[in-house]
Structure 1
Amino acid sequence: MKKAQYAQRGPVPQDVIEAVEFEAPPLNAGQVLIEVLASPINPSDVLTLTGEYGLLPPLPAVGGNEGVGRIAAVGPVVSHPQVGQTVLLPIQGGSWATHMVASAKGLVPLPDGADPKQLAMITINPPTALLMLSEFVDLQPGDWVIQNAANSAVGSYLIQLAKLRGLRTINVVRRESAVEAVRAAGAEVVLVDGDDLAKRVREVTQKAPIRLGIDAVGGVATQHLAQSLGEGGVLVNYGAMSGEACSISPASFVFRDVTLRGFWLSRWFQAATPQRRAEVFGEIGRLVASGQLTARVQATYGLDQIKQAVAAAAAGERDGKILILPNGPV
């Protein structure tokens, strides 16, 4: 058994992590041993390695917070899930490993016939997209939504989920080279960010009011989205890819009653009831299993290639997610 462990944090994330051998402890009552099939590297994972994320585990730690696995063994008094069942890995850290020990209680079963690589990515990005579409504004079919970082994993899921709900999207990217990939993901409108974004948005929508904006960039990009919203619109920020604080003119607040909100999936997990979590992941799991919800995968790596994998995930331009396959191809 192996795990990708780090004992310190530093500015170059791939330098602080390495694959090491370990032995799983005996299973206690209520525990299961999970064989990890696939686990992605998310931006939050990279920021955790550099020490810049909002929630940092004590050191030493095992990387990864998301993935999918198969029950390999069960401890005493465990009746469900059974050996062989595909499950969502618990969000407790440590998914970059060949095996994990976890409590059987609360594990989410997943369709056994679905692609493990697609299932591995459903814990963070799809619920982030789904909840931002549903928790802040009561949108109706035909309504417009505008988002930046549309070429990100969350952006791609948001495009697909919006289309399934009959919503129309304006998708903003920061470079011309990203436009075609976003169109290939099914985007109806793709625009490159700029000071005149609001003017171009009004032309595309024929001045239809936009009630919801999704911001992952921060800096002046936040202002560009705020200017594109209609009166009383809600702008939801969930990241700062620019590395800058959100910049927004008081005029958007005072004269057009725009609201700026924040979204952090970890906080939602803390507040959501088990029933609500099951509803969200049940919907996402069904959409992934049916092929209606997918994400691009740029490359897969074995656990012994963890340094190369983290370096690839931290690179500026990618066309898809980096996945760790700890036990080989799936």
Structure 2
Amino acid sequence: MKAIQISAFGEPRDVLRWADFPEPPAPALNEVLVQLEASPFNPHDIYVIKGGFPVLPTVPGPVGNEGVGRVIGLGENVNHLAIGDRVLLPTFTWLWRERMTVSAAGLFALPEADLHQLSMLGINPPTAALLLSEYTTLEPGDWVVQNAANSGVGRAVISIAKARGYKTLNIVRRPELVDELQAAGADVVLVTSDGTKAEAEKAVDGGRIGLGIDSVGGKAIGVLADIVSPRAAIVAYSILDSATMSIPAWSPIFKQVTVHGFFLGNPDSAAAAPAAVRDVLPLVVNGALHTPVSGVYPPSAIVEAAIHAERGGKVILDFTAE
């Protein structure tokens, strides 16, 4: 069989290859053999390939963090799955391989739905769900403010918040995203500027902004700290701009704003993720949570897929295309 592998940590276009790889072992007790169908090429995959992610694979070897596949083999004592079931694969298992043997624990049969949308179920949707629930208590009608709102997590936040009765105040950098995100369910979309705080205050019209979600860092998280209501929480989950945070001191001192960090791979978040996946799965199946896909590539075109992913937009690796 074959797998998408890296020869060393480095620039994706230089180190990625679609090459022969050993067949996985037959499934043992409480294991299943899975044929990979589709996987997104996420920004954190790029960080892994470059060697800059907290969790790294052994090199040379496969990479890839999330995806879906069909069960094609059952080990002993696996009674909750059947041959042909589509399952969400465990994250951080370096799964860009045609076939793999994995633990059956925590796996469940997915309903039939859009393959590419299901392939993105493992990281961004549970991240968004946990960001909305784990750091503060929100009531229907409360506001959530986020930057980089057009990202995969940002779009999931919009959909999940809407399903839970919250309103979203979304900050983006490009005007052309305003109509697009409003069509996706965003209540308010602002293009970042020196007047963002004043625009936000006008938009919510006295409403409580109980949560800020940051994926940019730098001064951008400080804007959220200015915008949120007293005693709100701010949660940072990514670093798109700066590895430092610049927050005005009066926000934690006088407004009692708290700042938290989120990583899905942390033990407490990882333990909560399966329930979060099940919670948001109906939104993916019915199309309420939909992430636009800008490119679909077979695994043999991994270099072209990497170039596209670095340029921007959601890229899917479709292993059924080979």
1:44 and 2:40 are equivalent in the alignment: no
The farther-off stretch of 91-100 and 258-267 is: 91-100
2-side partners of 1:149 and 1:97: how far apart?
Answer: 31
Q: Is the 8 A contact 1:195 1:224 kept in 2?
A: no
The farther-off stretch of 164-173 and 282-291 is: 282-291
The number of residues matched between the two structures is: 321
1:65 and 2:62 are equivalent in the alignment: no
Aligned to 1:307: 303
1:323 and 2:312 are equivalent in the alignment: no
Please state how far the C-alpha of 1:293 moved relative to its aligned partner: 1.9
Aligned to 2:221: 222
Q: Which amino acid aligns with 1:195?
A: D
Q: Is the 8 A contact 1:162 1:168 kept in 2?
A: yes
Please state how far the C-alpha of 1:137 moved relative to its aligned partner: 1.3
Aligned to 1:292: 288
Please state how far the C-alpha of 1:8 moved relative to its aligned partner: 0.8
Residues 205-263 of structure 1, C-alpha deviation per residue, up to 9 Å, x if partnerless? 11323111000001111111110011111111111111341111112121211111111
Aligned to 2:89: 89
2-side partners of 1:199 and 1:218: how far apart?
Answer: 21
Q: Is the 8 A contact 1:86 1:109 kept in 2?
A: yes
The farther-off stretch of 305-314 and 202-211 is: 202-211
Q: Which amino acid aligns with 2:122?
A: T
Aligned to 1:7: 7
Q: Which amino acid aligns with 2:46?
A: V
Aligned to 1:271: 268
1:155 and 2:154 are equivalent in the alignment: yes
Please state how far the C-alpha of 1:76 moved relative to its aligned partner: 4.2
The farther-off stretch of 102-111 and 126-135 is: 102-111
Over aligned residues, Cα RMSD in angstroms?
Answer: 1.8
Please state how far the C-alpha of 1:272 moved relative to its aligned partner: 5.6
The farther-off stretch of 243-252 and 216-225 is: 243-252
| CA distance 1:25–1:157, change in 2 (3 Å) | closer
- What percentage of aligned pairs have identical amino acids? 40
SS at match of 2:265: helix
Aligned to 1:283: 279
Q: Is the 8 A contact 1:98 1:327 kept in 2?
A: no
Q: Is the 8 A contact 1:220 1:247 kept in 2?
A: yes
2-side partners of 1:263 and 1:26: how far apart?
Answer: 35
Q: Structure 1: any 5+ residue segments left out of the alignment?
A: none
2-side partners of 1:255 and 1:105: how far apart?
Answer: 47
TM-score when normalising by structure 1: 0.92
2-side partners of 1:273 and 1:240: how far apart?
Answer: 20
The farther-off stretch of 94-103 and 131-140 is: 94-103
